[in-house]
């Protein structure tokens, strides 16, 4: 049996591209959409995707979750595939609530967009080895009382900018806002990770969402906690022959944390489609549930349409990911594809 998980999945009858896609889905999401497979193989809808889905369904490696108006979400649930990924007990195998599925689809979008530029730490063992062996961080900052990885780190995407230099490379963590009304969940995550992020030093916290409703509040909270670590006196400047300052002799501070927001921009016509069915009316049973952002927060000029219930159309046809980098003073940066 091949030790390479992608090669092992190919032995189940999949092509190299299909096996590579299933590897990414199993490792990071557990759920996917047809258009995400099309994006991965750089094709539009056609026979390749149709045959792949039919093959996976016939082998009972995936299940189809039907939503309103014919939208489908595919769930990779085969224990045999997760065993080949050396993740036999992965939570990705289990059926999740709608909000969790929505979050996982956004995570997969991010992975597909950045897979050639980042190295992802997959599984608790690899993450603990990186933090403990490569970064030599105090285990109490990332282990729980049972000596396992903290739950918040299990559910957070962790990536390295340069896998060849793990001891010094930039570390990226992805927080996914699946359409929350407030940034309260983000605050809880920061409370759990603040000490660890300070120990890492050079990190980038990615706030990904299909709504920019909470971007400003999240940025303020981030810099309220971490801004003080970057407010050290500047190092002395060298001066050239004309007396003009050049680059500092030493970096300002060892701490180099930052925050970036990614807005999953949608085709305007599709913004109307992703209201969950329970947002149609405010009943007693709806109280306490996190609702998606308002239409004004998602995209100006587009009215909500709660009569079109599906929480997943937001991921069906994005026109790109917009990055917005926030500096310590929180001045919104430029947007670029």
Average confidence (pLDDT) over 266-276: 31
pLDDT of 211? 83
The closest of 65, 68, 4, 3 to 34, measured between CA atoms, is 65
- Rounded to 10 degrees, what is the CA torsion of 50, 24, 325, 137? 170
pLDDT of 264? 64
Q: Residue 178: is its pLDDT beyond 50?
A: yes
pLDDT of 71? 83
Set out the domains of the chain in order of their start, with CATH numbers: 5-96 (1.10.10), 170-326 (no CATH)
Q: Residue 318: is its pLDDT beyond 90?
A: no
Question: What is the model's pTM?
Answer: 0.74
68 versus 22: which is more confidently predicted?
A: 22
Q: pLDDT tens, 276-313?
A: 222 222 223 333 333 333 333 333 322 333 333 333 33
Q: How many CA atoms lie within 13 A of 204 on its CB side?
A: 18
pLDDT band at 263 (very low <50, low <70, confident <90, very high): confident
Distance between CA atoms of 321 and 248, rounded to whole angstroms? 34
31-32: strand order across its sheet: 31-32, 72-76, 62-66
User: Hey, what are 206's tokens?
Assistant: 């990615």
Q: pLDDT tens, 16-33?
A: 999 999 999 999 999 999
Residue pair 258/229 in contact by the 8 Å Cβ criterion: no
336 versus 110: which is more confidently predicted?
A: 110
Q: Which long-range contacts (CB under 8 A, 24 or more apart) does 251-255 make?
A: 253/229, 254/201, 255/198, 255/201, 255/202, 255/226, 255/229, 255/230
Distance between CA atoms of 128 and 143, rounded to whole angstroms? 8
Q: Residue 337: is its pLDDT beyond 70?
A: no
pLDDT of 259? 82
Burial class of residue 132 (count of CB atoms within 10 Å of its CB; 0-12, 13-18, 19+) = middle
Q: Residue 321: is its pLDDT beyond 90?
A: no
Distance between CA atoms of 205 and 222, rounded to whole angstroms? 9
């Amino acid at each position: 049996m091949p030790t390479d998980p992608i090669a092992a999945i190919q032995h189940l009858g999949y092509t190299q591209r299909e096996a590579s896609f299933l590897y990414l889905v199993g490792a990071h999401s557990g759920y996917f959409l047809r258009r995400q497979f099309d994006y991965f193989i750089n094709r539009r809808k056609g026979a390749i995707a149709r045959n792949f889905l039919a093959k996976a369904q016939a082998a009972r490696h995936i299940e189809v979750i039907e939503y309103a108006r014919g939208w489908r979400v595919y769930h990779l649930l085969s224990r045999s595939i997760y065993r080949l990924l050396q993740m036999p007990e992965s939570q990705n195998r289990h059926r999740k609530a709608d909000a969790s599925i929505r979050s996982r689809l956004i995570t997969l979008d991010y992975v597909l967009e950045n897979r050639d530029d980042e190295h992802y730490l997959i599984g608790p063992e690899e993450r603990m080895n990186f933090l403990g062996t490569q970064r030599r961080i105090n285990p109490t900052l990332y282990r729980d009382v049972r000596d396992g990885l903290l739950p918040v780190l299990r559910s957070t995407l962790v990536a390295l900018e340069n896998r060849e230099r793990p001891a010094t490379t930039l570390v990226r963590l992805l927080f996914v806002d699946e359409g929350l009304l407030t940034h309260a969940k983000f605050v809880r995550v920061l409370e759990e990770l603040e000490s660890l992020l300070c120990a890492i030093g050079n990190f980038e916290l990615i706030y990904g969402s299909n709504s920019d409703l909470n971007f400003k509040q999240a940025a303020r909270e981030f810099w309220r906690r971490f801004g003080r670590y970057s407010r050290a006196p500047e190092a002395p400047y060298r001066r050239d022959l004309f007396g003009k300052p050049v680059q500092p002799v030493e970096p300002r501070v060892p701490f180099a944390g930052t925050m970036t927001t990614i807005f999953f921009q949608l085709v305007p016509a599709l913004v109307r489609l992703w209201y969950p069915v329970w947002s149609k009316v405010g009943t007693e049973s709806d109280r306490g549930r996190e609702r998606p952002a308002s239409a004004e927060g998602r995209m100006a000029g587009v009215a909500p349409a709660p009569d079109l219930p599906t929480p997943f159309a937001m991921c069906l046809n994005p026109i790109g990911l917009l990055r917005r980098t926030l500096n310590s003073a929180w001045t919104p940066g430029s947007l670029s594809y």
